[in-house]
Structure 1
Amino acid sequence: MSLRPDLAIIARHVPAGARVLDVGCGDGELMAALRDASGVDARGLELDRGNVAAAVARGLSVIQGDADTDLAGYPDQSFDYAILSQTLQTARAPDRVLDELLRIGRHAFVSFPNFAHWRVRLSLLWGGRMPVTRLLPERWYDTPNIHHLTIDDFRAHLRDRAVTVEGAWFLSGDKSTGRAAANMFAEHAVFLLTRNKSV
């Protein structure tokens, strides 16, 4: 089974043998791929008990925990990469979760849906309702997404926090799209980050 497109991007850019913490790892799909293809030492933190059981059944080291409260227990720089895929927008305090990722990992991958995509804007403009799409299938009352950020929101936050962008990839559907006007045309974004050493 092939990886979700944002996970495939992350998998291609994690070097062999790296130590990785996957926060909000789901059933461990990315961790298993990294372990099997690259010999990565992958650990996971996941809120959903069923997903934890599924990941452990794959032979993965995953514990149940909440990104909003349980990252503080990890030592500084204890992983080469901390990964947060499609989870930032579900956190109660995404700014603090991002700070923790950059403290725990030498590098951090963050992927999220872009709520400024033209289809989202059009749905609000013409229909006056929150969109329901293939990539955002939940309705307003049952969505796990509690912070509706855009690519430009995220970039501005990184500038304010003196975070260095080492790489950025943008997806429209399952395909890569260009950086130009990504805030309008990308449905999802993947960023590779590191803390500015001068801060």
Structure 2
Amino acid sequence: MSVQAALRPDLAIIAANVAAGARVLDVGCGDGSLMAALRDTKGVDARGLEIDAGNVAAAVSRGLSVIQGDADSDLAGYPDSSFDYAILSQTLQTTRRPDLVLEHLLRIGRRAFVSFPNFAHWRVRTSLLWGGRMPVTRLLPEQWYDTPNIHHVTIDDFRAFVKERGIAVEGAWFLSGDKSTTSAGANFFAEHAVFLLKN
């Protein structure tokens, strides 16, 4: 199995679209899977910021440069344009101020990858409509009381957000399960989205 094939689908999309030899900051890098893949396959100089101490230890044990920190409070210390890419995968919806985190990403990186679960997916809508309860799915496995997701963003919300701020979308990918789906109807049919942004 290739390194990219072993990645979560949204991370595989990001890995495929990061230029070889780039400087990357992975915010909310988890155990460093994406960083290791980028280092090993593309010679990327990858740095990571991760809030969970266990994940930091796992990433460091892979020989990665990862520090413990919080996207909401620790991005302000990074200089402007210090990375080619700033990456925020499956973390946007867990931050207290996603608008400010995105501002920092686009300030720190020349480009930013952002991936997030789509809370307007038809299964989520159906669960609320027919069951009257917050959904628990394969991709959103936590109960309402223990979920880290505090901002329930949809693809259309995110599209409106970047348009209002004049942020250019250089690429967008949509996933239904682990497979790509089209942009048309993505707000209804896609479970996850990946955007490549540039100020």
Q: Same fold (TM over 0.5)?
A: yes
Q: How far does residue 164 in structure 1 lie from its aligned partner after superposition?
A: 0.2
Task: Report how far residue 133 of structure 1 moved.
Answer: 0.4
SS in 1 for 2:96: coil
What number of residue pairs does the alignment pair up?
Answer: 195
In structure 2, the partner of 1:59 is 63
Superposition CA RMSD, Å: 0.5
Deviation at 1:102, TM superposition (A): 0.2
The 5 Å alignment of 1:12-91 reads 12-91=16-95
Q: Partner of 1:27: helix, strand, or coil?
A: coil
Does the residue aligned with 2:197 lie in a helix, a strand or coil? strand
Q: Deviations over 1:34-61 (max 9, x none)?
A: 0000000000000000000000000000
Alignment match, 1:147? 151
| 1:72-112 superposed Cα distances (whole Å, 9 cap, x missing partner) | 00000000000000000000000000000000000000000
Partner of 1:124: 128
> What SS does the corresponding residue of 2:36 show, helix, strand or coil?
helix
Extract unaligned runs of 5+ from structure 1: none
The corresponding residue for 1:157 is 161
**Distance in 2, Cα, partners of 1:108 & 1:169:** 14
Secondary structure of 1:26 counterpart: coil
Amino acid at match of 1:155: R
3-state DSSP class of the match of 1:184? helix
Deviations 1:23-43 (A, max 9, x none): 000000000000000000000
Q: After TM superposition, what 4+ stretches of structure 1 lie above 2 angstroms from structure 2?
A: none
TM-score (norm 1): 0.97
Distance 2:171 2:41 in 1: 22
What's the CA shift for 1:160? 1.0
What is the aligned counterpart of 1:172 among 169, 176, 179?
176
Question: What is the distance in 2 between the residues matched to 1:179 and 1:164?
Answer: 16
Rounded to whole Å, the distance in 2 between the matches of 1:32 and 1:135 is 23
- Percent identity, aligned pairs only, is 82
Secondary structure of 2:198 counterpart: strand
Of 103, 108, 111, the match for 1:104: 108
> Which consecutive residues of structure 2, in runs of 5 or more, have no partner in the other structure?
none
State the 1:183 CA deviation: 0.2
Amino acid at match of 1:32: A
Q: When the two structures are superposed, what TM-score results if normalisation uses the length of structure 2?
A: 0.97
Q: Look up the SS of the partner of 2:30 in the other structure.
A: coil
Mapped partners of 1:3, 1:136: distance in 2: 18
Aligned to 1:11: 15
